[in-house]
Structure 1
Amino acid sequence: MALSSGDNVPSCTLSVMGDSGPTPLTTDDLFNGKRVLLFALPGAFTPGCSMAHLPGYVATADKIKAAGVDTIACLSVNDAFVMGAWGEAQNASEIVMVADGNCQFTDAMGLTLDGTGFGMGKRSQRYAMIVDNGVISHINVEDGPGVDASSAETMMALL
């Protein structure tokens, strides 16, 4: 069952691309004492994610932060190398590109997508959430294809 508003985010270790390679990032480090807007998507460099989802957050990052968000994070079930390269390719310098390489966070959120029929294995469903000091205050999960409920514009309206 998927986590919902009022639930604590799962505790686990993710990773980001650092100056000298993949660097561990705990969910405590990411969420505790902060207001975070995290959006998750099925895969880096995929068409919908690269053309519709991430660009909206890149374009509105300053407005989102001005509305009281400390960190904007993009999460996918990819490795830190891929997430780092994708962030660079998309000029996403204001967004923390988070790798959930083992699908640990996504599984714990209850938001795993079975992409085996497409040769993609386990992935994350497309969603976005606002987390206040480790507690989910809003979460919007897409019901089907497309980017609507989890778009930057939709989430900004909740800030």
Structure 2
Amino acid sequence: MKTGYKLPEVTFHTRVRDESIEGPNPFRWEDKTTSDYFKGKRVILFSLPGAFTPTCSTYQLPGFEKGFAEFQAEGIDAIYCMSVNDSFVMNKWAQDQKLENVGVIPDGSGEFTRRVGMLVRKDNLGFGLRSWRYAAIVNDGVVEAWFEEPGLCDNHSEDPYGESAPETLLAWLKEANAEQAA
């Protein structure tokens, strides 16, 4: 995946809250496409190996959530977290993390992740197929900047983190915006 690349058009099977549904699970299925999330917006997309995992839940997702206002000030319209998890898991994780600013995208089948070249095996952790950790700044569906953790491979013995950290993206945005202003 490189700068200038148009994101692949896929359909995500999501569960959305529907107040007309009674009971403990007031959600309905709603298919959303890549265009639904990215068309006409400048967004941050970050992807990680799995909901509820330590680095993802302790650093990466909370960092983007807490830094949302700073990202908005640098011209970002939305921030999305993607994982090769189903919508039930992603929604529960969003609830657990008390998300108000970051949206979650369930790539349950891994189709989007495969098509951007980030699908890896994590059988060594009992995960199966998952996403390699990365982040991107996407402008109207086109990759403006790409931040990939080093060492992309199946069954990596570590979970590198730093290139796709919120701080890295914020620094890039500030520098890019300063260059445009000059």
Question: Which of these residues, 144, 149, 152, is aligned with residue 142 of structure 1?
Answer: 149
* Aligned ranges 1:3-152 → 2 under 5 Å: 3-19=1-17, 20-144=27-151, 145-152=159-166
SS in 2 for 1:123: strand
SS in 2 for 1:140: strand
TM-score by length of 2: 0.82
TM-score by length of 1: 0.94
The AA in structure 1 aligned to 2:165 is: S
Higher relative contact order (CA 8 A, sep 6+): 1
SS in 2 for 1:158: helix
TM-fit CA distance, 1:92: 1.5
State the alpha-carbon separation in 2 of the partners of residues 49 and 25 from structure 1: 24
SS in 1 for 2:172: coil
Where does structure 1 lack aligned partners over 5 or more consecutive residues? none
Instruction: Give runs of ≥4 in structure 1 deviating > 3 Å.
Output: none
The AA in structure 2 aligned to 1:147 is: Y
Where does structure 2 lack aligned partners over 5 or more consecutive residues? 18-26, 152-158, 174-182
Alignment size in residue pairs: 157
The AA in structure 2 aligned to 1:41 is: L
RMSD value, Cα: 1.2
